[in-house]
Amino acid sequence: MNHDSNHSTETKSGFLTTYLFSQDHKMIGIQFLFSGLIFFGIGGLLALLIRLQLAWPDGNLPYIGKWFPQSWGGKMSPEFYTMLFTMHASIMIFFVIIPWLTGTFGNFLIPLMIGARDMAFPKLNMFSYWVMWPAFIIILASFFVDGGAASSGWTSYPTLSNVGAEAGLEKNPVKPGEPASSYTVFKDDSFNSPSSPGAGMGQIFWLVSLIFVGIGSMMGSVNYITTILNMRAPGMDLMRMPLTVWSLFITAILQALALPVLTVALMLQLLDKLIATSFFLPPGGLSFGNWHTTPGGGQPLLWQHLFWFYSHPAVYIMILPAMGVVSDIIATFSRKPMFGYKPMVFSMAAIASLGFIVWGHHMFQSGMDPRLGTGFMLATILIAVPSAIKTFNWLATLWGASILYTTAMLNALAFVSMFVIGGLSGIFMAATPVDVYFHDTYFIVAHIHYVLFMSSIFGIFAGITFWFPKMFGRLMNEPLGKVHFALTFIFGNLTFFPMHILGIGGHPRRYYDPTIYQYLENLQPLNQFMTISAMLLGLTQLLFVINIFYSLWFGEKAGKNPWNSNTLEWDAPSPPPHGNFDQIPVVQRGPYEYAIDGPLDYLTQSSTASDGVKHHE
Amino acid sequence: MHRCWGLLFAAVNLAAIGLFAISPAMGWWLPKNIASYGADIDHLFYLILVATGFFFVITQGTLVYCMFRFNAKDGAKAKHIHGNTKLEIIWTAIPAIILLYIGFAQTPTWAKMKYIEIDTWFPIRYKGTNIESDLHVTVLGRQWEWRMRYPQGHIPADPQAWADLGNLHDLHVVNELHVWKDAKVKIHLKTQDVIHSFFMPNLRLKQDALPGKVMPMVFSPIEANVRYNPKTRILEELNPSSTWEIACAELCGGNHYRMRGKLFVHESKQDYELWFSDALKNQRIHESTRLAPVVASSNGVNP
Ligand code: HEM
Ligand SMILES: [Cu+2]
Ligand SMILES: [Cu+2]
C-alpha cells in the first residue's frame, strides 16, 4: 500500500504537523478529546447557572447577583435564561457528546481495532477536525454579539428563531382621519429579531456554527465508512469486528444519511434570517406588537419535520458508540465472551433503521394529523425492543462472569443500569395520550439526561479510562477514578432522578420561574435539592480533569495490553507509533474469546496459539 | 471493597423506587384530573408504570445480583458461553408482546382525546371524526398572553369562518377560559407570532398553536370550580383548592413562563350564561378598551 512506504518520512515531522495539523488518526482523536473536555466545562457551567435560577427564581443570588448588569436588577434576566439552556444543550450535544463519541472514539479506535495503519483519507480526516475550529470560535463569539447568544432552544423552532427584521411592515401611528391600517415598509439592517433578542445575530452565529459542525461530521462519516469497508486487516470479517467498530460503523451510516437533512434545514433557516426567504414563515404573516412580517409562503412545521428527521437519528448517534464501547469493556472485565454477539449487531442495526421512522414522536402535539401520530407511536414502541435485547445481552454476559471492578468497568455497568431508566421513561412518552401530558415537561428533561448524561457520558468515561493507556502509554489513576465514578453516580442520580417526579407534577421545561404557578409551588423544594446535587456533580467532574492531567505525566506506565483484552489495538505498542503496527496483524477469530482453559484466560484476535476451546455457540 | 459496588447500585435503585413511593403522599404527583377522558390517560400511565416498574426491578435486580455473585475477587470462574438462541427469542418476544399490548391499548384513548372514531376490532383504523360541541372558543396566543374570544349563543353559524375572522359581538377575555361542567368544548387555537402551546394540566391536554393555522382542541370537563354571583358580580370558588391553571408549554421567548391563564368551569350552562351576559355588557361599556381584562373575575378570584 502506498501509505506504508510514506510513513517513515512522515515520522520525522515537526511540532506543528505532529500535534496541530496532524493527519494521524490517533492525534486527531486526541484533539477531539481535549476540545471536548473544554466544552464539557463550558456546557457544565451553563447548566449550573440554569439550576441556580430554577432553585432561587426570585433572583438575589448571593455573590453571583453582582455579575449581572445593573439593568437586569442584579439578577438573571428571563432572556438570558433562555440563552443559557439553548447554549447548554447545543454545546453538550454538538460540541461534547457527538465529538467525543464519533470524533475521539471513531478516529482513535477504528483503524487500530480493524488493524489498519490509518484512515482511508487522512487529509480529509484532518479537515474534519479543523472545520470544528470555526465552529468553536463562532459559537463562543455568539455570546458577545448584539442581542446575545441564540435563545430559541437547541430545537430552534421557527417562527421564534427565524423572524428577522430584514423586511417587514410597521404600523404607522394612527393620525386623526386616517384609516388604522396604514403601513410603511421598513428595512432594518441590524438583523435584530422582533421575537426575542437572541433570535438576531446570535441565531445567525448558531446556525453558521452548526453548519461547520455538520460539514466536519460528514467528512468523518465518509472516512469511517470507507475505512471500515476497505481497510480491515486480513481475516477481519465483518462478523469478527468488535462491537465498538460495529457501533461506529452503523453510527457513521446514520450520520451520513441524516446529516444532510439537518444541514439543508440549517441553511434554509439561515436564508430566512439573512435574506427573508420565509421557508419557515407562514402565508398569513405574523405580528409582534406594532411590527408585521410580510406574508411568507412557507411552513413552520416543515422545520420540525426536517429537524427531527435528523435529530431523532442523532440521539442514536449519541448513544450507539457508547453501547459499542460498553460492550467491549464489559466483555473484557467479565472475562467472558460477549453474550449474543449477532443479536447485539442486529439490534444496533434495527435501532438505526427504525430510528428513521420515529421522528414524529417529538411532534405529537405539534399539530400533526392524529392518525399519523398512531403510526409514529407504534414505530417508537417497537424501537424499545432492540433496546431491551441489548440490555438482556449485557446482563447475560455478566451472568456467570468473573467481574473485575476497574474504573472502566464500573462506568460501563453504570451505563447499563442508567440506560434501563432512560429507555423505560421513553415508553411513557411513546404512548401518545400520556405524552400529551408529558410533552415539554421535566419528564422529557429527565429522559434526555438519563440517556445522554447518565448513559452516554458514563460510556464515554468508561471508554476514556479504558483506552487512555493506549492513547498516552500511561494508566489513569484507579482510586481517583473510582471516587470520581462513585460521586458522579450518586450526585447524577440525585440531580436527574427527581426530574421524573417534576414531570409527573406537570412542571414545564424551559421556565425561568415556575413558582408563579400554584400547581408547581409544592415542587420547589425538589428544584432546590436538585440544584445542590448538580453543584456537587459539577465539582466532582474536576476529579476527572485532574485525573487526566495527572495521569498524562505521572500515571503508571502501561504495557501493550494492560487489561488482557483481545482486540487488535492491544497488539500495538502503547502509544502506537505512526502507522500503528510493526506488522499488520492477521485476524484468527472473533474479539470475545475469554474464559479459555489454558495459561491465559484469553486469546487475542491475532494470536496464532491454537485455541483449545470447546465451542458451544 | 469489591462488594460495595453492588451495594452502591442497589442503594441508588432503591432510592429511586423510594422516591416514586413517597411522591404521591408529598403531593408531587399528577394534578387532579377533570377531563372526561382523563381517567383513561391516568390508567394508561399506571399501566405503563407497572410494566416499566416490572422491567426495572428485573433488570436492576439481575445486575445487582451479578455484581455480588460473580466476583473475580471471590474466585468466581467465568464460563465460556457465546449465546443462546432460545433465550434470545424469549427476551425478544416477551417485551415485544408487552409493548405491542401497550401500543394497542392506548389507541382508544387517543381517539377519544382527538374525538375520532376507530374500528373496534382493529383499533388503529380510523373511521371518521366525531366532533359535536356545544361551546366554541377561540384562543389566540401571543407574546405573552392568551386572548380568548367567545361567540354569542356559544355556537357560531360557521365555526371555521368565525375562528378566522370573529364577529363584532364576540366577548373578549384575556387569560381566562370559561366553560361549564360537562360542556363539549371546542377550542380554535391560533397564534399571531410564534409557536405557543396551550397546556391545561388538569385536563391532561396540550396543543401547540401553529402560526398560520387554526388548531382544534376538544375536551369536556367533569367537574366545576366556580359559580357566578350576579348580585355581587363575583366569581365564587366552589372549593379553595381548586384553582386550575393554564400554562404555555412551548418556548416562545423570554417571558414564556409568564403565559399563565386560568380555567374556570362553571357549575352549569345557566351559570356560564349569567357570567357571559354580564361580561359582555361590561365590555360594551368599555368598548374602547376591548382587550383589557373583563371585570367579572378580576373581583372575586385572584387573577
Ligand atoms: C427505548 C427507547 C426510547 C424511546 C421509546 C424514546 C422515546 C422518546 C419520545 C417519545 C420522545 C419525545 C417526547 C416529547 O417530546 O414529548 C423522546 C425525546 C427524546 N429522546 Fe428518547 N426515546 C428512547 C431512547 C432514547 C435514547 C437512546 C436517546 C439518546 C441517546 C434519546 C434521546 C432523546 C432526547 C434528547 C429527547 C428530547 C428531545 C427534546 O425535545 O429536546 N431517547 N424520546
Ligand atoms: Cu426521538
Ligand atoms: Cu410559551
Cα A410 to its chain centre, rounded Å, is 21
Note whether A99 and A1 are within 8 A (CB): no
B91 residue type, one letter = W
Sequence-ordered list of residues with C-beta below 8 angstroms from that of A234, at least 6 positions apart, any chain: A584, A586, A587
CA distances (Å), A70 to each of A65, A73, A74, A263, B42, in order?
A: 10, 5, 5, 39, 47
Angle A243-275/A300-317 helices, nearest 10 degrees?
160
Region B215-230 average pLDDT: 93
Strand partners of residue A169: A185, A292
Least confident of A178-187, B105-114, B293-302: B293-302
Q: Which residues of chain A have pLDDT under 50?
A: 1-11, 614-617
The answer, for A547 touching chain B at a CB cutoff of 8 Å, is no
A323 lines ligand 1 (CB under 6 A): no
- The verdict on ipTM greater than 0.85 is yes
SS3 of residue B219 by DSSP: strand
Residue A418 Cβ < 6 Å to ligand 1: no
pTM of the model: 0.93
The Cα-based distances of A507 to A493, A511, B24, B200, B277 in angstroms read 19, 9, 15, 12, 35
Decide the pairing of beta strands B205-209 and B196-200: antiparallel
A115: left (phi over 0), alpha (psi -120 to 50) or beta: left
Residues with CB under 5 A from ligand 2 (ion): A 312
User: Which has more pLDDT, B285 or A592?
Assistant: A592
With a cut of 80, say whether residue B155 has pLDDT above it. yes
- pLDDT value at residue A165: 62
Question: Which residue in chain A is spatially nearest to B260 when comparing CA positions?
Answer: A517
Q: How would residue B293 be classed by pLDDT, with cut points 50, 70 and 90?
A: very low
How distant is the Cα of B274 from the closest Cα of chain A, in angstroms? 28
- Report the relative pairing of strands B185-191 and B135-142 from DSSP bridges: parallel
Mapped onto helix, strand or coil, the DSSP state of residue A134 is: helix
Q: Which ligand is nearest to the CA of A357?
A: 2
CA distance A424 to A318: 18
Task: Using alpha carbons, select from B139, B224, B218 the residue that is nearest to residue B176.
Answer: B139
Q: pLDDT band at residue B167, thresholds of 50, 70 and 90?
A: confident
What pLDDT was estimated at residue B78? 87
Highest mean pLDDT out of A361-370, B41-50, B69-78? B41-50
User: Taking CB atoms and an 8 Å cutoff, what residues of chain A touch B34?
Assistant: none
- Burial track A194-219 (b if 16+ CB lie within 10 A, e otherwise): bbbbbbbbbbbbbbbbbbbbbbbbbb
- The answer to whether B214 and B164 are in contact (CB under 8 A) is yes
Cβ–ligand 1 contact at A384 (below 6 Å): yes
Nearest C-alpha neighbor of A111 from the set A455, A585, A552: A585
Nearest-angstrom CA–CA distance, A203 and A443: 27
What CA–CA distance (Å, rounded) separates A47 from A61?
A: 16
Q: How far apart are CA A269 and CA A281, in angstroms?
A: 10
Q: Please determine, for residue B299, whether its predicted confidence score (pLDDT) is greater than 90.
A: no
Pick the residue of A155, A195, A365, A428 with the most B CBs within 10 A to test the interface with B by mutation.
Answer: A365
Closest listed residue to residue A356, CA positions, set A312, A295, A387, A406: A312
What are the phi and psi torsion angles at A276 (to 5°)? 55, 50
CA of A426 to the centre of ligand 1 (A): 6
Which ligand minimizes its atom distance to the CA of A356? 2
Q: In sequence order, what are the beta bridge partners of B47?
A: none
Binary contact (B59, A391; C-beta < 8 A): yes
Tell me: pLDDT of B112 over 70.
yes
- Among the listed residues A87, A79, A84, A66, the one whose alpha carbon sits nearest the alpha carbon of residue A138: A87
B135, β-bridge pairs: B185
Residue A19 near residue A35 (C-beta atoms within 8 A): no
Asked if A271 contacts A316 with a C-beta cutoff of 8 angstroms, the reply is no
pLDDT at residue number B122 = 65
Q: Computed from CA positions of residues B170, B244, A288, A436, in that sequence, does the dihedral angle turn out positive or negative?
A: negative
At residue A188, the pLDDT reads 59
Predicted pLDDT of residue A570: 95
- Which residue in this structure is represented by grid cell 415556575? A514
Lowest mean pLDDT segment, chosen from A523-527, B165-169, B174-178: B165-169
Residue B228: per-residue pLDDT:
93
Q: Which of B29, B63, B95 sits opposite A398 (nearest CB)?
A: B63
Please list the residues that pair with B227 across neighbouring strands.
B236
Q: Suggest the residue from A504, A592, A596, A617 to mutate for an interface test with chain B (most B CBs closer than 10 A).
A: A504
Residue nearest to atom 6 of ligand 1 (CA): A426
- Report d(CA A97, CA A75) in Å as an integer: 31
Please report the residues numbered 417 through 456 in chain A whose beta carbons come closer than 8 angstroms to any beta carbon of chain B.
Answer: 417, 420-421, 424-425, 427-428, 431-434, 436-437, 439-441
In one-letter notation, the amino acid at residue A53 is Q
Q: Collect all residues of chain B within an 8 Å Cβ-Cβ radius of residue A413.
A: 5, 9, 63, 67
> Apex CA B71: angle with CA B65 and CA B74, to 5°?
125
Residue B103 at interface with chain A, using a CB cutoff of 8 Å: yes
Whether residue A221 contacts residue A252, with contact meaning beta carbons closer than 8 Å, is answered with: yes
Longest distance between any two alpha carbons in chain A, whole Å: 101
Q: Which residue has the cell 374525538?
A: B115
* Contacting B residues, span 149-188, partner chain A, CB-CB under 8 Å: none
The pLDDT of residue A358: 95
pLDDT at A185: 57
